[in-house]
Structure formats: C-alpha cells, structure tokens
Amino acid sequence: MPPEDAPLRTFDAVVVGAGFAGMYMLHRLRSLGCSAVVLEAGDGVGGTWYWNRYPGARCDSESYYYSYSFSDELQQEWEWSERYPRQPEILRYLDHVADRFDLRRDIRFGRRVTEAVLDDGDACWRLRTDTGERYSARFFITAVGCLSSANIPQIPGLETFGGRWFHTATWPHEGVDFTGQRVGVVGTGSTGIQAIPVIAQQAKHLTVFQRTPNYSIPARNGPMDPAFQREVKAGYAAIRRAQRESTNGHPFGIDPRPALSVPDDERERIYEEAWQRGGLRFRAAFADLLTSKEANDTASEFIRAKIRETVRDPGTAEKLVPYDHPFATKRPPIDTGYFETYNRDDVTLVDVRKSPIVEITASGVRTSSASYPLDCLVFATGFDALTGPLLAVDIRGEGGRSLRDAWSEGPRSYLGLQVSGFPNMFTITGPGSPSVLTNMPTSIEQHVEWISDCIGYMRDRGLVRIEATEDAERAWGAHVEEAAHRTLLPMASTSWYLGANVPGKPRVFLPYAGGFATYARRCAEIAAAGYDGFVLTPDR
C-alpha cells in the first residue's frame, strides 16, 4: 500500500522506543487516561538490553538499584541473582515488567519510525514508520535511548573482509561461537573491557586494537547474597530516596572530604578499600576527584600502579596505562579480569594510536606497522551518543525546519526535555539533561514523571500546545556548558560526552554535569511556577 494511503492511527501520545523509558512512559500515560502507542524497531521490549547481547554484556550499576522504583510490588517481588545483572537477566526483568503492567498490547514491534512532522495548525505530530504505517498524536515523546546509534568506524576495506564482523550493539541473537577463531576487537571502552576477557576465553587467539588506554575498576561481581537482598527490600524507601538526592542517581554518597585533606597513607588506604569493594563507587572516594586535577591525579596514579602490578609484561602494561585524560573524565569502565587477560599467551595488544589501522583486507587488519590475520572482527567502537538516535529520524518542527538543521552546530534544548521550535515533542533523557552521567533508570523515571505531570496539567487546563522559549533554551545551554566547565570532564578531549568520537560531530558537551538532584529540583521548580520558560497555549 502506498504510504499516503495507509490509514492514519490517532492517539493522544506516540512514544518511540520500548526500553526502560518508553515502557514507563506508556504506563504513566495510561494512568492519566491518555490513549498511547509505543513504536519499537526491535521485536521485543528492552531497548539497550534488547540489542546489546555481546559476550560479557552486563550492567555496571548494581542490580538492586538499576531498576524501576515506581512500583513497590515490583521491587519486592523481583529477585536479582548477581551483584551486577547480565544482559539476559535485565531483559527478563523488562519482559516481566511488560507482562506485569500489561504493556505489550500498546506496543507495536518491528517498526522503525522514519519521520515525524509537526502539523502546527492542529498542534499535533504525524509519524511514519519503515513499514509504511502512519500515526498522529498531540504529543510525540522520544524514548530512543542515549546510546543506541552504533558508531562503526569508516575504515577502508571493511567490505572486502573475508571473515565475519560485528558491532557489539547489534549482536546476533543466536550468539557467536569464537571457538578456534582468530578474533580482533577494536575498542577498549566500557563495552570492549566487558567483552575482551570473555572472548579471550573462547577464541584461539585474540588481538585487541587499542587507541586510548582506559582506567578500569574491578567490578567484584558475585552471586546476590540472600540476606543482602532481604535487607535491600526492607530498606528500599531509603535507598530510592538516596538515589533521588544524589549527584549520579546511585544510592551511595560521595565522601565529602577533598582528596588532599587526608595524609598520603590514609588516602592510599581509602583507595585500596574502594578498589577491593569494586565498582563505580570508586569515583565517590573523595569529593573533588572530578573538580580538582591535583585530587584526581592521586586516584589516576593509584589505578596506574594497579595496572602495572597486574600486567606481567612491562611493555604491555605501559601500553595499558592511561595518560591522556584524568580518571573518570571518560565514563569509567568496570571489569572482571580485564587487565589480567593481557597475561594470557593467546592475547595480543596492539597500540593503534602509535601504529594506526590503515585498512581492513580480505584476511584481517593492517596497521601502519604490521598485518594481523583474523577470522572475526568485533567493533566495540561505541555510539553516536545522545543526538545520533534523534537525528536518525527525520524530525520537522515549526515551518518545516528539521531538527538536523536546528542542531547543525550542536544540540540546543531546554532541560534536555524540549527543543524550541518543536512544540509538544518531549525527549526523555535528551542532550542537556543528566542522563548518561547518572544511573539511567533514575533519570528516566524523573523525566517520565515530569512529562506525564506536564501533560496532565495541560489537560486539566484545556491547553494543547507547549513549547520551550528560545530564551529559556539559550540560558539552559549556557548553564549546561558552565556546569561542564566546573568539572574536569571536558579535559577528555576524545570523549563521546563531547561528541569527539564521531567524525564531523559538533564538539558540544552533551549531558548536564550539574548533578541529578540539583537538576530534578530545577525541573520541579519550573513546573511549580506554571512551566516557566515554556509557552502553553489553549486550543484555538
């Protein structure tokens, strides 16, 4: 059927994406009595956790708080099996949520939204999918994820490669058997660092192509202790409160002391304790690790010493020692046996900053100094973060202006929730919100609740159109920039936080670094002031 002739399906709201964000958005819209549909490209719910099935994929946040807080029944009934949940377990959890709240009947799977165009006369949006369907809704809500647009490097010759190649974010559902294979992995970010030790155990030989060495903290994963799980369940109210009042959406506080305020041996003891406990909490060892270079140097040096201690071959150890950015200015990975993997005889580390990859040939990878024959190549090369998934849809707002055009010099947004010129479009965890600097479910719940409260407010007052003003957007953009520069984060000049990993992408610090609690408070104040910085209009 030609797309123009496809019937127009009309709802109060269309949500794009059925991951953590889209599922909860649907649940909230229903509770408002709105008609809503979720359009999802995959064949199941889960978003990130539907697509990222690479070996070793698991969450770096701990299971008991990387979860929804909106339903006490849900958090009481669900049992996590490990300290850090593996991808299949998170997917099982999200499948359970979909069933428990009967979400599937309003989710249309296997449809990718290709176009969303504002009909300003009606203050509503018209969407098209790659299956030729047409949808119309007053509210267009993106729940497309921050890290869902794979970044596959443009390396000459990839199409000539005789073996199989994969990007970690679009992993085959049936899995990949690396037994007896010579495997190459490009990339040593959080994903590569999770995948490398697992692939090494299976492959005949693993070659890791590393451009930038990374700090990584041991995860110290293990089975969930039943007594701890009981304690968590009894204390969820306080845990969730701590998450909401935190900087990063985690339930632990940051030690209020500056790193240099304690004697050297005491500081070493604190780092050692944090290293032994493992996980992202290492970052919270002192208050100023992300604001003082001198303080950060002490943590960075501690980790460098650990790498040198762990990796037996001194030449390999030196290649693995991070040097070009302070600790945690790129998202710090956590690992299970990552540095230890380089002690294996069947693992080779190649420094592609020193000897860049020149081409991919039929038989493998050629760098400027050697050739590496391979049967399989894995790109753990990350994402076109935050803006990529939104710009993949042809979004056109007032006067037919495209989002791509509006963001040609980098994203502009008010609170990371709305873009001026795109009324009635909400972006869950959009650029300019804390998103990727936090535990994602915490940020997602706050955004979903703010958006659904806003829609409820409009409905109760007969308002049909909401749009961020240009002034509010400009002021917020300046604040996002200033918040980033109050930290060391912009020092990681190759970071995806800055868009630096994608050739040609404007260099703009993408997430809001002012802290989750501060941000949530600001959002609440704006709503309480009648949506300050937005223009709300009644039906004409």
Output 107 or 186, the one with its CB closest to ligand N01.
186
Given the rule CB under 6 A, which of 75-83, 111-119, 186-194, 198-206 is the region that contacts ligand N01?
A: 186-194
Minimum distance, C-beta of residue 432 to ligand N01, in the bound complex (Å): 17
How far apart, in whole angstroms, are the C-alpha atoms of residue 323 and residue 334? 18
Q: Are 246 and 253 in contact (CB under 8 A)?
A: yes
DSSP 402: B
Q: Which of 116, 143, 436, 498 binds ligand N01 (CB under 6 A)?
A: 436
Given the rule CB under 6 A, which of 157-165, 182-190, 452-460, 465-473 is the region that contacts ligand N01?
A: 182-190
How far apart, in whole angstroms, are the C-alpha atoms of residue 249 and residue 150? 25
364 binds ligand N01, rule: CB under 6 A:
no
Given the rule CB under 6 A, which of 367-375, 378-386, 510-518, 531-539 is the region that contacts ligand N01?
A: 378-386
Cα angle vertex 62, ends 59, 65, to 5°?
115
Binding mask 104-143 for ligand N01 (x = CB under 6 A): ----------------------------------------
Given the rule CB under 6 A, which of 101-109, 175-183, 379-387, 476-484 is the region that contacts ligand N01?
A: 379-387
Q: Which of 494, 518, 530, 532 binds ligand N01 (CB under 6 A)?
A: 494
Rg (CA), the chain: 23
Token output for 510? 């993408």
Which helix (H) or strand (E) segment is 244 a member of? helix 236-244
212 binds ligand N01, rule: CB under 6 A:
yes
Q: Are 393 and 113 in contact (CB under 8 A)?
A: yes
CA 405 to chain centre: 24
Looking at this protein, which amino acid is placed at residue 130?
Answer: D
Minimum distance, C-beta of residue 214 to ligand N01, in the bound complex (Å): 7
Minimum distance, C-beta of residue 422 to ligand N01, in the bound complex (Å): 26
Output 377 or 468, the one with its CB closest to ligand N01.
377
How far apart, in whole angstroms, are the C-alpha atoms of residue 57 and residue 49? 9
Q: What separation, in Å, do the N-terminal and C-terminal C-alpha atoms of the chain show? A: 35
Minimum distance, C-beta of residue 75 to ligand N01, in the bound complex (Å): 19
**Between the CA of residue 409 and those of 150, 363, 422, 506, what are the distances in Å?**
21, 40, 17, 6
Task: Tally Cβ neighbours within 10 Å of residue 540.
Answer: 8
* Residue 376 β-bridge partners: 164, 183
Q: Which of 192, 218, 279, 423 binds ligand N01 (CB under 6 A)?
A: 192
Q: Which of 191, 247, 336, 438 binds ligand N01 (CB under 6 A)?
A: 191
Given the rule CB under 6 A, which of 190-198, 243-251, 423-431, 504-512 is the region that contacts ligand N01?
A: 190-198
Nearest to 221 by CA among 37, 88, 80, 388: 80
Give residue for tokens 């073996």: 163
Binding mask 21-60 for ligand N01 (x = CB under 6 A): --------------------------------------xx
Residue 28: exposed, middle, or buried by beta-carbon count in 10 A (0-12, 13-18, 19+)? buried
Minimum distance, C-beta of residue 321 to ligand N01, in the bound complex (Å): 14
211 binds ligand N01, rule: CB under 6 A:
yes
Q: Which of 18, 21, 29, 186 binds ligand N01 (CB under 6 A)?
A: 186
Looking at this protein, which amino acid is placed at residue 154?
Answer: Q
Number of residues that bind ligand N01 (CB under 6 A): 26
Minimal CB distance to ligand N01: which residue?
189
207 binds ligand N01, rule: CB under 6 A:
no
Q: Are 435 and 146 in contact (CB under 8 A)?
A: yes
DSSP 257: S
Residues that bind ligand N01 (CB under 6 A): 59-60, 147, 153, 186-192, 194, 209, 211-212, 331, 352, 357, 380-383, 436, 494, 496, 501
